[in-house]
Amino acid sequence: MLGSEKTFFVMYVRDKTDYGTNNFVGNGDGTITDAATGLMWMQDDSGSFSVGDYQDGSLNWEQSLAWCESLDYAGYTDWRLPDAKELQSIVDYTRSPTTTNSAAINPIFNVTPIVDEGGGSNYPFYWTGTTHANNLSDGTAAVYIAFGEALGWMQSPSGDYQLMDVHGAGAQRSDPKVGDPADYPYGRGPQGDVIRIYNYARCVR
């Protein structure tokens, strides 16, 4: 009934007070180890390499998978694209383009700046190896994490579109794995999430 009180069940959990706290160690060879998780990350992202169709480091999902898995970097050949939980683990929610004029990640990492759909300075979406499976995408989309603004085209009552940060830095969203971004001039979904398809990669091992 409209306006009636709603009740929900709650499940409580307890754990270490430092759960989710990173412990980054620079290895001096272009890699960063998070001692909290045991994962080793590339200090640079794919934007530091002239890879991809545009030779600027932006890659579709299939290209990102292939690039990480074929990478021989810092003496290691077992690099891969991180899954969604792994990549989310290095988001720094105290940082964002709006609050700190930076990407939402510890400054020990190097982040390629980009020009966003509105012509402003921003930071990339990064692909994960996680497929976003639902009734709409049918496995044709994959998860990315926004380390800059998670932009969307919001339509006003007059029909005009305005580009705004609808989800915030650190948001987890999805893009088609392949395709042409021009097919989505005003994004998709209720918030008009911008569709880039050519995102960036930060490999892990």
- pLDDT value at residue 8: 87
Q: What is the CA radius of gyration of the chain?
A: 18
- pLDDT value at residue 1: 55
Mean pLDDT score, 18-43: 94
Reply yes or no on whether the pLDDT at 137 is more than 70. Answer: no
Burial 51-74 (b: 16+ CB within 10 A, else e): bbeeebbbbbbebbbebbeebebe
Per-residue confidence band for 2, with pLDDT thresholds at 50, 70 and 90: low
